């Protein structure tokens, strides 16, 4: 039977749900990835060279959060998605546990957590070995028009943050879910030339 969470703890997580919900909902059906080597510290997520008279487009909340994650040294890439069951998802791939902890302690992430990062918080990644590599962190949230979790400032039925590690196996043809810069032992990456229909 799943452990019950006290309403006090639920209330402490309210700011997390609010910020994460805005970010994930802003993602909608969009997909956004950044590939190449892990992002280096201080390197902007996007090119900042723009003429001063060019209007600045409105920032999508999901894109804003994804950009902050990409700025973390050791982040391989980020993907935003929507599942068939209605979950809004943000997936982030990291070089190792240290890189995940850099995101955990990032000012944007600490701000999203708000008071949820206060007294009584569990030690982050306490069960993940210090030498763990190729990690994927997945955050999901599900909005609800009917029943919802009490104590949250928005109607949601589900929220989670989960961590996974890649296994040394797999096969891909013309691309994969994880960024190509993440080296996975024994993964067979294949490329074929595309042809037009009817050829």
Per-residue pLDDT tens digits for 148-198: 888 777 788 998 999 999 999 999 999 999 999 999 999 999 999 999 998
Q: 104-132, pLDDT tens digit by residue?
A: 999 988 887 764 444 456 789 999 999 99
Residue 79: alpha-carbon gap to chain centroid: 7
Dist. CA 38–CA 197, nearest whole Å:
37
Is pTM, for the whole model, over 0.95?
A: no
Task: Identify whether the C-beta of residue 174 lies closer than 8 Å to the C-beta of residue 189.
Answer: no
Using alpha carbons, list the distances in angstroms from residue 17 to 39, 103, 106, 177. Answer: 27, 17, 18, 26
Say whether 168 sits in a helix, a strand or coil. coil
Place of tokens 């997945």: 138
Q: 90-107, pLDDT tens digit by residue?
A: 999 999 999 999 999 999
Q: Which residues on neighbouring strands pair with residue 135, listed in sequence order?
A: 94, 165
Please count the CA atoms within 13 angstroms of the CA of 118 that sit on its side-chain side.
12
């Amino acid at each position: 039977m799943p452990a019950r969470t006290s309403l006090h703890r639920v209330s402490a997580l309210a700011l997390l749900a609010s910020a994460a919900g805005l970010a994930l909902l802003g993602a909608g059906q969009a997909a956004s990835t950044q590939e190449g080597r892990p992002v280096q510290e201080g390197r902007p997520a996007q090119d900042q060279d723009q003429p001063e008279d060019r209007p600045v487009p409105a920032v999508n909340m999901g894109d804003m959060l994804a950009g902050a994650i990409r700025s973390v040294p050791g982040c391989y890439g980020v993907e935003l998605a929507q599942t068939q069951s209605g979950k809004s998802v943000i997936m982030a791939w990291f070089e190792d546990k240290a890189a995940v902890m850099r995101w955990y302690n990032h000012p944007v992430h600490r701000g999203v957590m708000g008071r949820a990062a206060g007294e009584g918080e569990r030690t982050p990644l306490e069960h993940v070995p210090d030498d763990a590599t190729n990690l994927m962190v997945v955050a999901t949230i599900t909005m609800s028009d009917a029943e919802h979790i009490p104590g949250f400032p928005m109607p949601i039925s589900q929220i989670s943050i989960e961590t996974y590690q890649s296994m040394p196996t797999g096969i891909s043809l013309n691309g994969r879910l994880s960024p190509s810069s993440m080296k996975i032992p024994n993964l067979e990456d294949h490329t074929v030339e595309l042809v037009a229909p009817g050829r």
